[in-house]
Structure formats: structure tokens, C-alpha cells
């Protein structure tokens, strides 16, 4: 239990008083153990407002809420780390000076703020008292109700879904897991709100509103994707049609110079659509088409001679072919 005696000075009111011991110490009637380790951090947190009140018998916490007076005996205007903990410099009021000169109180009792692990994080106030144990126990009971970080262990077990016999290590692990989940939730909510185009800092926006907005956006994306797919199909169909037209035109022009059968024509049109270079190579290797006066375009049948065109017999004779040769070749 914290009991910090006032400095003994028979002649003067002390300028410095001991506010907090370092290391571990008992509190709350001996039911809790607190630890003061980061002393400089405690001072920074405690002096954020510039000074803290030094009253008597914790009147700020016990009397003032009931409408009674709670005058300051002094003000802690500075704090200092020493070997035995934290000391505070007091700017005494006249009432405080008179009380101290009269040796009316024997000890200092601080009002401390601690986290769920029992680590002291702030000296909130201090009080002149002759019964620091009782006052400290009462105030720590009140602080537990006010500060979520010092929640009763039994209530913590219930809220965290732990068994009644769960120790502090299990509670600490469960809290760490809950904090991790909470951070992840905040991160996901912030990201979802941003994707939905909503104000990330507006805490009045419900999760359902964010989800509805995201679903509406997803519907728009799906519609856009469907339109894109339909458009792509049309483009592909146009490309195919254009490729076939280009192939037909190629074969039509090539057929004017090369002997191309109907079957080969169809194959060349298809090939030209996927590999124009190969189609051109194949056509280049084909035999030249006969004159249109003697052979029909793309046909295998020879035209009947007319005008001054030589007869087939004349051609055969010129080539040295006899009727027997023609029969052997299937032409007789």
C-alpha cells in the first residue's frame, strides 16, 4: 500500500514531496500490485495540463462530487525522477502552508491511473492524508469503474468469453487478440469506406451502408464488364469478317495468274485469315494459269478451240504425243 511520508522539517514547509515510489508496490487495500517503471513517461503524462492539484483527504474525488468544498492545499507544478521514485514541487496555498506548519497531516496519497497490467501511466492528483490506505483503496475502486484499462478481472473474463478461473496471462492474451481483431476491423472498414467513396472519418456511417454502396458499385462494374464482353464479341466478329473478305480478295486476284481449284480456293481463303504470309508462299508455288482463251478460270476442263487457235491434235503432234500415249495418260 502506498504511504509516502511528508519530509520532516521542523522549521519550513517542504518544497518537494514524494508522489510515487519506483518499482512494484501494493495498492487497493493490498488486492492489487502496481508497477511504476517508465517514470519519465509518467511525468510527461501527468504534467500535460501544466500542474495538478494537491488537496486534503481526496476532497476533489470524494467531497466535490457531493457538492462540498474541495480547496487546494497546493499545486504540483513540476516533477522530478529520483532514486526512490517521482517527487513533485509544491506551490503551497496559504491554507496549505498553515496546515503544513501545524503538522496536521503525516502522508501523501496519490491518485493513480494504471492500465490493465497494473502499469502506472499517470499521477492524476495527490492528497494530504492521515489514512492513505483507506483513501487510496476507495479511489482505486472508483478509478476501476471509470477507466476501461483497469476493468475488473471477473468482468473481463465474462466479456472475453474466458472461464472463471482464467489467469492474468490468459486475459492478457485474449485482450491482445481482441485488440488485433479490432485494428483489423478498423483497417478493413476504412478501406471499404474509401472504395465506396464515403467519408472514412464519419463514424455515423454504418457497416450496412458501406456494404450497400459497395454492392451498388459492384453491380455497375458487372454491367460494364458485360457491355465490354458484348462489344468485344462484335469486334471479333468484324475482324473475322474483314479477314475473310481480305482472303477472298487475295484469292480472286491470285486466281487471275495462278491455277487455283475450287477446293484449294476455300483452303487459301481460310489460311489467309490466320497466316497471310504462308498463303502468299503457297500461291507463289502454284503453276501459272493457262490463257483464258483455252482454259476456264479455276476449272480443270479445257476450252474448245476457236478462231485461229491450234487444235488439240496439232498441239499433241507438236509435243510428240501419240494416241497410245494419250490413252496411257488417261487423256485418250
Q: What tens digit of pLDDT does each residue of 179-222 get?
A: 888 888 888 878 788 777 777 667 677 888 888 877 877 776 67
Residue 186 has a pLDDT of: 81
How far apart CA 205 and CA 203 sit, in angstroms, is 5
Give the contacts of 99 (CB within 8 A, at least 6 positions apart): 56, 73, 105, 128
Give the contacts of 295 (CB within 8 A, at least 6 positions apart): 289, 301, 302, 303
- Ranking 72-76, 131-135, 188-192 by mean pLDDT, the lowest is 131-135
In a shared domain, residues 15 and 140: yes
Residue 8 has a pLDDT of: 63
Give the contacts of 165 (CB within 8 A, at least 6 positions apart): none
For residue 295, what pLDDT band results from cuts at 50, 70 and 90?
very low
Report pLDDT digits (tens) over 225-283: 777 887 888 888 888 888 888 888 888 898 888 888 888 888 888 888 888 899 889 88
In a shared domain, residues 10 and 132: yes
Contact 87, 68 (CB under 8 A): no
Residue-range definition of the domain harbouring residue 287? 208-297
- Among residues of the chain, what percentage have pLDDT more than 90? 18
Cell of 33: 500490485
Residue 286 has a pLDDT of: 87
How far apart CA 145 and CA 148 sit, in angstroms, is 7
In a shared domain, residues 100 and 234: no
In a shared domain, residues 10 and 57: yes
CA neighbor of 260 nearest in space, from 280, 240, 246, 242: 280
For residue 43, what pLDDT band results from cuts at 50, 70 and 90?
very high
In a shared domain, residues 293 and 308: no
Domain boundary among 205, 224, 246: 205
**Does residue 161 surpass a pLDDT of 80?**
yes
Return the higher-pLDDT residue of 296 and 265.
Answer: 265
Domain boundary among 169, 188, 205: 205
- Among residues of the chain, what percentage have pLDDT more than 70? 75
**Does residue 126 surpass a pLDDT of 60?**
yes
**Does residue 313 surpass a pLDDT of 60?**
no
For residue 325, what pLDDT band results from cuts at 50, 70 and 90?
low
- The mean per-residue pLDDT over the stretch 284-294 comes to 73
In a shared domain, residues 145 and 162: no
Residue 199 has a pLDDT of: 75
For residue 54, what pLDDT band results from cuts at 50, 70 and 90?
very high
**Does residue 135 surpass a pLDDT of 80?**
no
In a shared domain, residues 167 and 254: no
In a shared domain, residues 212 and 190: no
Residue 308 has a pLDDT of: 43
In a shared domain, residues 198 and 214: no
For residue 92, what pLDDT band results from cuts at 50, 70 and 90?
very high
Domain boundary among 171, 190, 205: 205
Tally of structural domains, the chain: 4
CA neighbor of 124 nearest in space, from 48, 34, 71, 59: 48
In a shared domain, residues 58 and 141: yes
Residue 78 has a pLDDT of: 96
Return the higher-pLDDT residue of 85 and 193.
Answer: 85
In a shared domain, residues 190 and 111: no
Residue 292 has a pLDDT of: 53
Residue 64 has a pLDDT of: 83
Report pLDDT digits (tens) over 102-114: 888 888 889 888 8
In a shared domain, residues 272 and 307: no
Give the contacts of 175 (CB within 8 A, at least 6 positions apart): 116, 156, 160
CA angle at 298 for the pair 293 and 304, rounded to the nearest 5°: 35
Amino acid at each position: 500500500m502506498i504511504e509516502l511520508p511528508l519530509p520532516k522539517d521542523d522549521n519550513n514547509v517542504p518544497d518537494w514531496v514524494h508522489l510515487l515510489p519506483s518499482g512494484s508496490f501494493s495498492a487497493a487495500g493490498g488486492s492489487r500490485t502496481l508497477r511504476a517503471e517508465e517514470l519519465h513517461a509518467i511525468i510527461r503524462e501527468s504534467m500535460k495540463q501544466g500542474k495538478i492539484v494537491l488537496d486534503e483527504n481526496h476532497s476533489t474525488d470524494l467531497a466535490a462530487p457531493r457538492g462540498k468544498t474541495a480547496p487546494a492545499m497546493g499545486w504540483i507544478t513540476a516533477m522530478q525522477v529520483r532514486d526512490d521514485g517521482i517527487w513533485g514541487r509544491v506551490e503551497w496555498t496559504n491554507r496549505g502552508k498553515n496546515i503544513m506548519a501545524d503538522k496536521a497531516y503525516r502522508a501523501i496519497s496519490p491518485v493513480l491511473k494504471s492500465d490493465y497490467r497494473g502499469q502506472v501511466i499517470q499521477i492524476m492528483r495527490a492528497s494530504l492524508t492521515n489514512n492513505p490506505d483507506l483513501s487510496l483503496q476507495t479511489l482505486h475502486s472508483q478509478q476501476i469503474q471509470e477507466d476501461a484499462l483497469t476493468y475488473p478481472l471477473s468482468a473481463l473474463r465474462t466479456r472475453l468469453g474466458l472461464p472463471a478461473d482464467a489467469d492474468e496471462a490468459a486475459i492478457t492474451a485474449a485482450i491482445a487478440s481482441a485488440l488485433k481483431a479490432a485494428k483489423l476491423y478498423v483497417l478493413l472498414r476504412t478501406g471499404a469506406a474509401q472504395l465506396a467513396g464515403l467519408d472514412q472519418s464519419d463514424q455515423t456511417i454504418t457497416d450496412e451502408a458501406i456494404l450497400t454502396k459497395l454492392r451498388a458499385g459492384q453491380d455497375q462494374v458487372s454491367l460494364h464488364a458485360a457491355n465490354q464482353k458484348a462489344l468485344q464479341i462484335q469486334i471479333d466478329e468484324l475482324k473475322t469478317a474483314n479477314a475473310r473478305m481480305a482472303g477472298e480478295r487475295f484469292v480472286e486476284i491470285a486466281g487471275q495468274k495462278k491455277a487455283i481449284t475450287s477446293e484449294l480456293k476455300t483452303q487459301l481463303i481460310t489460311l489467309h485469315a490466320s497466316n497471310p504470309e504462308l498463303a502468299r508462299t503457297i500461291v507463289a508455288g502454284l503453276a501459272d494459269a493457262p490463257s483464258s482463251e483455252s482454259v476456264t478460270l479455276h476449272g480443270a476442263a479445257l476450252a474448245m478451240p476457236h478462231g485461229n487457235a491450234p487444235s488439240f491434235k496439232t498441239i499433241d503432234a507438236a509435243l510428240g504425243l501419240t494416241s497410245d500415249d494419250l490413252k496411257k495418260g488417261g487423256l485418250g
